[in-house]
A = this chain, B = another copy of it.
Amino acid sequence: MTDIARIEAAAFRLAGHALRTPLLGSAFLNDIAGRRVWVKAECLQHTGSFKFRGGWSAVSALPPEVRARGVIAYSSGNHAQGVALAAQRHGVPCVIVMPFDAPRLKIANTRAYGAEVVLYDRARENRDAIGARIAAERGLTLIKPYDEPEVIAGQGTTGLEIAEQAAELGITQADVLVCCGGGGLTAGIALALESRAPGLRARPCEPEGFDDTARSLASGTVQRNAQATGSICDAIVTPVPGAITFPINQRLCGPGLVVSDDEALQAIALAFSRLKIVLEPGGAVALAAALFRPDQIAGDDVIAVASGGNIDADLFRTALDRFGA
């Protein structure tokens, strides 16, 4: 299980390897939201998303003789890059199973980080089965994207930093909005806040049509999404809450928030003009919720985790075309 001791152990292993990302703000965003908005800029993390934390945590936690045989992961792209770079820096082999329709940049980057990329069709194939088969054949250790205690612990280091940064700003009560796919980042942050900033509460944020975690929290039972594709928020399109992550999130999180793809694009354009950071749609839903769901949030401050920035230039141009100043 992941607990605060495991998160702090992950923080110790990550020190000097992961970036302590800044907490950004802008008076312009405060005006839109009607309260102070703080943005934890994990898009600036190595590989362009928080996933490097979990990848490094999991790879660095393996016994050396196990790690030396190599690792494997399946991912729409950000977990792929996080695990690939962590493996490369540890000097061990890495195979990544990716959907063939993942953003080009993510596939190219994963290869550039030294990983062998195996593409599959997410509408017809089961990535878990593919990953398990290759892992068995080659003796690789499978690093799951969220249902893995050391991955959750690594993502939870984001929460330790938020707790510290909020304390520096004098913020003792606030919702912490987290972009949520399988729920690993949400669970890790929720656990860290429980111990280190109990007045802060994690809340998952999802795109419309893929709000499995919000509906599961609301109903008290695990809900699946009706479809597997159809949002631009590729990084957080997962079919169902995680078996390990959901019980944590059910115990600790406030209600989920849901935004449209267009609202995510608008948040991307505002992050460009107001914060000078690059977000991908799945990394912008928490900021979108902070800006466009003010009536579902309480308090003078809200913290939004901007979880990733791996967006193709075409889609970024679209965001600026439609919502740029």
Contacts and interface: CB of A to CB of B under 8 A. Distances in A.
Interface stretch (A57-65, A116-124, A269-277): A269-277
12 contacts: A24-B44, A27-B85, A43-B276, A44-B275, A48-B276, A105-B325, A273-B313, A276-B279, A312-B325, A313-B325, A314-B324, A317-B317
Interface string A1-44: 00000000000000010011110110110000000000001011
Contacts of A242: none
A325 B28 contact: no
A132 interface: no
A57 B152 CA distance: 42
Nearest to A109: B28
A316 interface: yes
A316 B318 CA distance: 12
Identical subunits present: 2
A102 interface: no
Q: Which of A16, A43, A324 is the most central at the interface, judged by chain B CB atoms within 10 Å of its CB?
A: A324
Interface residues of A, number: 40
Contact of A27 (B20, B113, B324): B113
Contacts of A273: 105, 313
A25 B109 CA distance: 15
A46 to B, nearest CB: 8
A313 B322 CA distance: 11
A25 to B, nearest CB: 8
Contacts of A278: 272, 276-278
Given A24-B44, A278-B278, A313-B325, 16 more contacts: A19-B22, A20-B22, A21-B22, A22-B22, A25-B46, A28-B109, A41-B44, A43-B276, A44-B277, A48-B276, A105-B273, A269-B313, A272-B313, A273-B313, A277-B277, A314-B324
A112 interface: yes
Contacts of A27: 85, 112-113
Nearest to A306: B276
A321 interface: yes
